[in-house]
Chain A
Amino acid sequence: MKKAILFFGLLALFSCEIHFDLEKVSEPAMYVQYLPSSEMDAQIMVAYAEPAFDKPAKQPHPFSVSDVAITVNGNKASVSIDTDKSSWNRHILNVSVPGGIKAGDEITVTVTGKDVPTASATTHVPECPVIKSVTLTQAVLDSSDVWKVTMKLDKPVKEGEYYGIKAVKRNEWYVASGPDMMNLQVDTTKSIEYFNPGQVADYTDLNSLDLDNYVSVSYKDGFMTSDMYMGEFLTLLTSRQIEGDTYTFFANAVDSFAWSDFDIDFDLGDLTDYGDYTDYSDDPGDWEDPEDPEEPEEPEIWIYLGEKNQYRFELYRLSDEFYHYAKAQYLSNYNMLSNFGITPPNFTYTNVVGGLGVVAGISGSGTDWIDPPEIQKPE
């Protein structure tokens, strides 16, 4: 009986598949990503974007970039082409702008490729307000202990502006371990973590009453990707979320161990040493190898001594193009329900004429590492 039910169930499932022809609405095009910034020399990525309605290439596509021209306020910059060997059809181009790029500059990029239309785009590098101060206050939100972060800027934001914020937590964790009490050694684990400001509860929670609905992309080394495993979340904001010169958000970054009854009050002053700081967030060696049979020997005594957290915040002013592209990237990756016609759609924003991708200015301002106030044990 069960087999019959399964058979008819599968029959019903497959019988409701409908194949339909796709309207040919696209042609081969170049994908261009260039995010000029006043803080760093960004590179240009150029890739071949084949039409989704054609049979995909089984062999490397003979795609090459013939010419790239960049002008900054009308003055031509030099570009060197360095093909990405790890990919068939992607080129990474180094750009050198004499005197660097400054806020307010107008950047125009024109890329000529073989057998594809010439792609061009223009953007402006916006001016970012400077962070004057950041204050952390312990608060309870949605039954969670959070930091209420108040960021003061040197000038008020204007309506219609777009921003991004990176929030970074640096953690040093101290434990004493060893075979017995007489042979304890103090170990320090250091890590760095990028987190979404405003993220209080897990977003899969039905109604988190989350005060800031976060949408993030990864912005790293001058490129943007929606792949969160790349780290360095850039959470997108609009001017509506910033009141004048003050941006307030909640950070789910209070460590509950800080008031644990098991805490032993050690003087950690001598242990603090940032000299050997390691960013574990990007270290592939941090991942456990399931095929490695060797397991580390567990110490018989393990005592949590304490930890030290510091925070750093980076505010970015985004050009309109940057914001629109980033938001679309996020939604296209994390809005799978749109395929079912029940949520708003996926799409990819582009400001590249004759091609796809984005050319978008960005500028930033950051703080030093901030020590949070002492964490209070809840009542």
Chain B
Amino acid sequence: MRILRIPLILAAVLVTAASASAQEVERTDTLNTAYVTAVKEKMRNTTQTGLKRIDGEKLRSGIAVFGTPDVIKQLQVLPGVAAGNELMSGLYVHGGDGNDNLFLLDGVPLYNITHFGGLFSSFNTDVVDNLDFYKSGFPARYGGRLSSVVDVETSEGNMKEYHGNISIGLIDGRLHFEGPIIKDKTSFNFGIRRSWMDVITTPALAYANKENGDDVKVDGGYAMTDLNARITHRFSPKSKLNATFYWGDDYLHAGLKEDLDAYMNLSIGTRWGSLASSLRWDYEFSKELRSKLTGYYSRSGSDIGYGFDIGSKSEEEEGMLQMTMSDHNLCNVRDGGIKYDFDWYPNASHHVRYGLMAAYHHYNVTRRYETSQKFAGMDKMEDKNESGDRYDAFEPALYIEDEIFLAYNFTLNAGLRWSLFTTGKNTWQHPEPRAAFKWLINKDICAKLSYTRMSQYAHLVSAMYIELPTNSWMPSTTGAGPMLSDQVAGGIYLTPGPFKINVEGWYKTMQHMLAYNGANAFYPPLVNWERSFTEGKGWSYGLELETTYESPKFDMSVYYTLSWTWRQFDDYYPYPFLDRNDNRHKLNLVGTWRPFKGMSFYFNWNYHTGNRITLPTNIIVYDKDAVSAMLFQAPYNTKLPDYHRLDIGADFNIVFRNDTSLNFNFSIYNVYNHLNASIGMLSQDENGEYYGLAYGLVPIIPTVSIGYKF
């Protein structure tokens, strides 16, 4: 009962507050809910399997942990997707590895899509127009990653009026502004998001430093920033130019200054993030032929630095010792590319898409080390060193796909993508066939089947499963070749009345997967990195059920997944084993209730079978009370307790006479405070009995955000 009190009281307060303003409120869909819907007609009329299209408005009304809607956390709710560690931005699609998702922002591939160790994704929902999420049946125009495609398109700015919004949440503040530069010709859309934790920590540290006196000063802070901008210019109804820009940055720093008999300055600074820019020209040659020509540049990387400056300062010891050191580890990947895509309708029975792309990748890891030492009576000794490695790669690709209307109720999509990757002395090329077939059984039922092959030439070098700035991307090498996947997916899609029921199954194999197999380290080796990885394979299969009910006042979706995910890495275990994210059952209930205009409530209940960990299975006791050896029979041999959590929230929108509005969002993450097991180990009680001991790390998190829209 204790755990229910807080949400009940909060809900009562919210309903009371909302009732007062309900007369003036217009109906909007700004609920913070995980409510995600596909476009019904599109689903029935295309051959596409495994696609979710989410429009920007739905994204902005999604889950708002810490008061900020998050794109990735909304995708984690969907069937066929495992989330991995709680609160993180893991996206393990159809048994994938989490580093095999293609993230496109306005057509530009992004490597780093998270902030703060994966707590937030980099996509600012204020500027997002729509998102396409593919889990299977990948169209031939996409390539380069094995498991999913997340294609995010930002909005064009309003061509007629200026609009915007300002909002502030528990962690960050956001500003969005759009409007015409030249009315009906040119527009801009601009969004910025910045965390404001340092606004609290800076004065807190200043107070602490004042208390400490002048001799010891402590410094530190963290800030994340996202900036999105888009300018659109219409030359004519047939010709349009888009320039987009994204910059995401995380900066974590800490320092200590001591000014006593000796002086000491210590500092740690880590900066990581991404930059993406593109220029796209959309042109309509005729009603039958349209094209998009895109040039882009992106950069993603990190700079991890630390250093110190120490020495003696008293008169008798002056010059006795002076030492400075700075060490920076930099890694980044830069991409420059061009794409030319065509849409062609030669006749009523064909829709042909074709195009080509070429990308240049530059991967760079560098360590800059500088030190200076001076001892009494000796010359100053200095050492400066820069070492590292660089890889250049060229990746062209061609594709063609044809949606062929064979008959009224039969449609075939046949496609082929050919990709090539050359770096150093190595060149790989892969033809990637894609095929999809749709049988429209009647107006409410259709069946689909698809096959896709995908290749991936970039690898995430990471010794850990969490997003850290120490992670870096590297190209395929002789010792770690391109990864390949083959996936067959099929399903039945029904639309009886207000319901939509999709049942999809998949079977996917993944070749040349990589797993870290080196020493325990936060920072894996970046030169000859492949020596620390072992190659293996994975396969996954399962069934997804998606049922959605939609009405003007109430929407509800039920997502269920039954799946198996296997791995086999002969170098460290020669038999198949279940993956750590093998969540056998996953169930999500997502609902939205709009009782009045401008007021909406949401809930989102998550359940999945526990993640897997590795515990010892046998113990050798050489002597009394002395455990001499613990033996582990297989990786991930133990299942953590099942995971479940309920989130609720409410949106209240007050519209003023000048068409501006004020929005209040209240969200409670994990409302019944169920501490889900995040880590686990073997433990013994006082009688010597063994039991599993896990720790839950994420309690109830209530958040509030306020926004003003104009």
Q: Across the A-B interface, give the 9 residue pairs with the lowest CB-CB distance, nearest first.
A: A345-B614, A49-B618, A26-B617, A207-B329, A345-B635, A347-B632, A20-B692, A18-B694, A87-B622
Docked complex Cα distance between A89 and B633 (Å): 20
A22 touches B638 (CB 8 A): yes
Q: List 29 A-B contacts (CB under 8 A).
A: A16-B697, A18-B675, A20-B677, A22-B615, A25-B633, A25-B638, A31-B618, A53-B690, A55-B688, A90-B620, A143-B371, A206-B329, A206-B470, A209-B365, A211-B525, A212-B528, A240-B479, A240-B530, A241-B531, A332-B630, A339-B613, A340-B678, A341-B465, A341-B580, A341-B613, A341-B679, A344-B517, A347-B614, A347-B635
List residues of A (252-284) whose CB comes within 8 Å of B's CBs: none
**Interface residue? A342 (CB, 8 A):** yes
Docked complex Cα distance between A50 and B619 (Å): 5
Residue of A nearest to B634 (CB): A347
Contact of B572 (CB < 8 Å), options: A59, A212, A214, A347: A347
**CB-CB contacts of B309-332 with A at 8 A, as 1s and 0s?**
000000000000000000001000
Measured between beta carbons, the chain A residues less than 8 angstroms from B628 are 87
Residue of B nearest to A56 (CB): B688
A346 touches B614 (CB 8 A): yes
**CB-CB contacts of B27-47 with A at 8 A, as 1s and 0s?**
000000000000000000000
How distant is A197 from chain B, measured CB to nearest CB, in Å? 13
Measured between beta carbons, the chain A residues less than 8 angstroms from B388 are 209
Given the interface contacts A52-B682, A240-B479, does A17 sit within 8 Å of B695 by beta carbon? yes
**Interface residue? A123 (CB, 8 A):** no
List residues of B (676-710) whose CB comes within 8 Å of A's CBs: 677-682, 684, 687-697, 699
Docked complex Cα distance between A90 and B695 (Å): 35
Docked complex Cα distance between A334 and B463 (Å): 13
B464 touches A337 (CB 8 A): yes
List residues of B (627-650) whose CB comes within 8 Å of A's CBs: 627-641
A22 touches B691 (CB 8 A): yes
**Interface residue? A219 (CB, 8 A):** no
How distant is A86 from chain B, measured CB to nearest CB, in Å? 8
Extra A-B contacts (19), CB below 8 Å, given A19-B694, A341-B613? A18-B696, A20-B641, A20-B692, A22-B690, A26-B618, A31-B620, A50-B620, A52-B616, A52-B619, A56-B627, A58-B625, A61-B621, A141-B387, A142-B367, A142-B369, A206-B523, A209-B525, A340-B678, A347-B637
Measured between beta carbons, the chain B residues less than 8 angstroms from A335 are 520
How distant is B581 from chain A, measured CB to nearest CB, in Å? 10
Measured between beta carbons, the chain B residues less than 8 angstroms from A52 are 615-619, 630, 682, 690
Contact-residue size bin, chain A (C-beta under 8 Å from the other chain): 35 or more
Measured between beta carbons, the chain B residues less than 8 angstroms from A87 are 622-623, 628
Measured between beta carbons, the chain B residues less than 8 angstroms from A211 are 525, 527-528
A88 touches B518 (CB 8 A): no
Residue of B nearest to A340 (CB): B679
Docked complex Cα distance between A356 and B616 (Å): 12
Given the interface contacts A16-B696, A203-B521, does A49 sit within 8 Å of B619 by beta carbon? yes
A331 touches B618 (CB 8 A): no
Docked complex Cα distance between A269 and B71 (Å): 74
**Interface residue? B391 (CB, 8 A):** no
How distant is B683 from chain A, measured CB to nearest CB, in Å? 8
Measured between beta carbons, the chain B residues less than 8 angstroms from A31 are 618, 620, 629, 631
**Interface residue? B21 (CB, 8 A):** no
Docked complex Cα distance between A277 and B632 (Å): 41
Residue of B nearest to A334 (CB): B520
B387 touches A209 (CB 8 A): yes
Measured between beta carbons, the chain B residues less than 8 angstroms from A25 are 617, 633, 637-638
Measured between beta carbons, the chain A residues less than 8 angstroms from B635 are 344-347
List residues of B (491-534) whose CB comes within 8 Å of A's CBs: 515-528, 530-532
**Interface residue? B425 (CB, 8 A):** no
Residue of A nearest to B304 (CB): A206
A207 touches B632 (CB 8 A): no
B693 touches A142 (CB 8 A): no
Contact of A348 (CB < 8 Å), options: B571, B622, B633, B689: B633
A22 touches B618 (CB 8 A): no
Docked complex Cα distance between A17 and B685 (Å): 14
A209 touches B527 (CB 8 A): yes
Measured between beta carbons, the chain B residues less than 8 angstroms from A334 are 519-520
Given the interface contacts A52-B615, A206-B470, does A331 sit within 8 Å of B692 by beta carbon? no
B631 touches A209 (CB 8 A): no
**CB-CB contacts of A182-226 with B at 8 A, as 1s and 0s?**
000000000000000000000100111111111100000000000
Contact of B614 (CB < 8 Å), options: A20, A57, A323, A338: A338
Measured between beta carbons, the chain B residues less than 8 angstroms from A89 are 620-622
**Interface residue? A54 (CB, 8 A):** yes
**CB-CB contacts of A7-23 with B at 8 A, as 1s and 0s?**
00000100111111111
B675 touches A143 (CB 8 A): no
Contact of B532 (CB < 8 Å), options: A29, A53, A213, A324: A213
Measured between beta carbons, the chain A residues less than 8 angstroms from B618 are 26, 29, 31, 49-52, 356
Contact of B624 (CB < 8 Å), options: A58, A209, A214, A327: A58
Contact of A207 (CB < 8 Å), options: B523, B574, B641, B682: B523
A343 touches B464 (CB 8 A): yes
Measured between beta carbons, the chain B residues less than 8 angstroms from A143 are 369, 371, 383, 385
Docked complex Cα distance between A52 and B687 (Å): 14
A203 touches B639 (CB 8 A): no
A21 touches B691 (CB 8 A): yes
Given the interface contacts A18-B693, A22-B690, A348-B631, does A207 sit within 8 Å of B573 by beta carbon? no
A207 touches B532 (CB 8 A): no
How distant is A323 from chain B, measured CB to nearest CB, in Å? 8
Docked complex Cα distance between A212 and B573 (Å): 22
How distant is A359 from chain B, measured CB to nearest CB, in Å? 15
How distant is B532 from chain A, measured CB to nearest CB, in Å? 4
B693 touches A341 (CB 8 A): no
**Interface residue? A47 (CB, 8 A):** yes
Contact of B677 (CB < 8 Å), options: A18, A21, A330: A18
Measured between beta carbons, the chain A residues less than 8 angstroms from B371 are 143
Measured between beta carbons, the chain B residues less than 8 angstroms from A302 are none
Measured between beta carbons, the chain B residues less than 8 angstroms from A173 are none
Docked complex Cα distance between A140 and B384 (Å): 12
Given the interface contacts A52-B682, A207-B523, A334-B519, does A324 sit within 8 Å of B329 by beta carbon? no
Docked complex Cα distance between A21 and B622 (Å): 26
Measured between beta carbons, the chain B residues less than 8 angstroms from A350 are 631, 633
Given the interface contacts A324-B573, A328-B572, A345-B636, does A16 sit within 8 Å of B520 by beta carbon? no
Docked complex Cα distance between A20 and B642 (Å): 10
How distant is A259 from chain B, measured CB to nearest CB, in Å? 13
B613 touches A324 (CB 8 A): no
**Interface residue? B611 (CB, 8 A):** yes
**Interface residue? A349 (CB, 8 A):** yes
A56 touches B621 (CB 8 A): yes
**Interface residue? B466 (CB, 8 A):** yes
Contact of B519 (CB < 8 Å), options: A50, A203, A356: A203
**Interface residue? B267 (CB, 8 A):** no
Measured between beta carbons, the chain B residues less than 8 angstroms from A337 are 464, 520
Contact of B631 (CB < 8 Å), options: A49, A203, A342: A49
Residue of A nearest to B370 (CB): A143
A207 touches B689 (CB 8 A): no
How distant is A144 from chain B, measured CB to nearest CB, in Å? 9
Docked complex Cα distance between A337 and B479 (Å): 26
Measured between beta carbons, the chain A residues less than 8 angstroms from B678 are 340-341
Given the interface contacts A241-B531, A327-B571, does A339 sit within 8 Å of B617 by beta carbon? no
**Interface residue? B85 (CB, 8 A):** yes
B531 touches A345 (CB 8 A): no
Given the interface contacts A52-B690, A206-B329, A327-B572, does A90 sit within 8 Å of B622 by beta carbon? yes
B611 touches A341 (CB 8 A): yes
A214 touches B619 (CB 8 A): no
Measured between beta carbons, the chain B residues less than 8 angstroms from A141 are 387
